[in-house]
Amino acid sequence: MNYQELIGKQAQFFNSNQTKDLAFRIKHLKQLKAIIKSREGQIYQAISADFKKSEFDTYTTELMILYAEIDEAIKHLVHWSRNKKLDSNLASFPASSFIQPEPLGVCLIIGAWNYPFLLSLGPVVAAIAAGNTVILKPSEIAANCADELEKIVNTNFLADYFMVVKGGVTETTALLSEKFNKIFFTGSVATGKIIYAAAAKHLTPVTLELGGKSPAIVMADADLKLTAKRLVWAKFLNAGQTCIAPDYIVVEEKVKKELLTYIKEWIQEFKYGFENNNYVQIINEKNFHRLTSLIDTGNIYFGGETDLVNRYIAPTILSDVNFEDKVMEDELFGPVLPVISFTDLNVLITKLKSLPKPLSCYAFTKSTAIKNKILTEFSFGGGTINDALLHISNLSLPFGGVGNSGIGSYHGEAGFKTFSHYKSIVKKPFWLDNVLRYSPNTKSKLKWIKRIIGS
């Protein structure tokens, strides 16, 4: 089946109105969860084959969140899809006003490789909950996971409703030339611009979940030992290949040495390694070479060991880094952590504001005033105070970027909204008709209108 034919069939299926039925949506969400559960073993094998990710990490960073996302949608779907009554105005009196969510239609979801199941199926859950049909294009880079996703979906769902299409740039480019009712993309800023441009040709709405350099700001008043522990965990989870990983640390100069010492101790304590099921490979040689060449440009404080055969890069700390250094140009997306020191928070915030808006920011401080200052003055997608990554796990919080780090958001109800259009409706009865609007337009009618409106 070519792409045009597939989209046509999905549009036809969508127009049959079957996906608008809430029982239909809930049935398929439950089915999706049951299939994933029944194939957990194959999922662990696929992800381990792609980059040696362990069962523990796959469950805690992908499946656990995915199951929660499905359960949340099933639990709240009736409430989310209800019409919401809103105030009516005098001009339409008597009337009732409401917004009615409706699915958008045929959706294209393009996934990234770094959390290949969560980042592909998470948006799918939202799209199905909202009543759409879905074509899912997983990342070709985690090839075994893409194969597994194809099995999970294409052997269990009707292609007219939900189908996986595998492929890389060529296939995605061909898909993007077609008209969809919604495109949801997770990936890099550079590809995000390509997606946005392609969608613009058809005026297709997009959600872009992109990346960026997310800073961790460490103030001198923070609990430095615990700060270091939390930052080490957040940075080296998935070997730093996490969109919201702290990309770099900016720490007050007077506590920099102490923080670095704790960071080193925690890395040693956690004993990162494939054999300990707490570390993963760099996804491919291209990224391995990109990261090792960056390490070579910096001042290694700790780590730095690499092994091309196993695509292994040890947790690596670069100290004495400046904003002008090569490691500070692009998102690192790997286990390399530059540490920059600062003395004046105002100067730091001015510098951060001159850079593209990041997906996340982490501030470590006991001071409410400093926390408020950072939250008020610095724009970023979302974050966690005195910890890292945790905001992504709370499905009550919309997840997404701002500026260069993305457009739109999802998770929980935010995902439902992302895949819905809200029709605004005014409903009038027949028992009363306001004659003031009809011709002839007399002076006395205008006087009455002004008196009623009050301005």
- Catalytic positions, written as ranges: 209, 243
Residue 168 lies near ligand NAD (rule: CB under 6 A):
yes
Residue partners of 185: CB distance under 8 A and separation at least 6: 109, 110, 191, 192, 195, 206, 207, 208, 209
CA angle, residues 135, 139, 140, in degrees to nearest 5: 110
The residue sitting closest to ligand NAD, measured at its beta carbon, is: 211
Which among 177, 181, 264, 248 is positioned nearest to 216, based on CA atoms? 248
Beta carbon of residue 422, minimum distance to ligand NAD (angstroms, whole number): 24
Interface pick for ligand NAD out of 55, 71, 140, 160 (rule CB under 6 A): 140
Number of residues that bind ligand NAD (CB under 6 A): 28
Is residue 114 close enough to count as binding ligand NAD by CB under 6 A?
yes
Select the span of 81-89, 186-194, 340-348, 441-449 touching ligand NAD (CB under 6 A).
Answer: 186-194
Which of 191, 284, 367, 386 touches ligand NAD by CB under 6 A? 191
Q: How far apart are CA 454 and CA 451, in angstroms?
A: 5
Q: How far is CA 324 from CA 213, 321, 351, in A?
A: 14, 8, 11
Smallest distance from ligand NAD to CB 209, Å: 3
Q: Please give the order of strands across the beta sheet that includes 84-86.
A: 84-86, 96-103, 420-427
Closer residue to ligand NAD (CB): 141 or 231? 141
Cβ-based neighbour number of residue 323 at 10 Å: 16
- Of 18, 88, 188, 367, the one binding ligand NAD (CB under 6 A) is 188
Look up residue 173 and give its DSSP letter.
H
173 binding ligand NAD? (CB under 6 A):
yes
Instruction: Map the footprint of ligand NAD across residues 428-447, applying CB under 6 A.
Output: none
Token pair 């699915």: residue: 103
Of 47, 70, 119, 237, the residue at the interface with ligand NAD (CB under 6 A) is: 119
Q: Does 144 bind ligand NAD (CB under 6 A)?
A: no
Cα distance between residue 121 and residue 142, in whole Å = 14
* 210 interacts with ligand NAD by CB under 6 A: yes
CA dihedral 181, 187, 190, 191 (to 10 degrees): -40
What does the binding site for ligand NAD look like in residue numbers (CB under 6 A)?
A: 110-114, 119, 137, 139-141, 168-169, 172-173, 186-188, 191, 194, 209-211, 243, 331, 333, 359, 401, 406
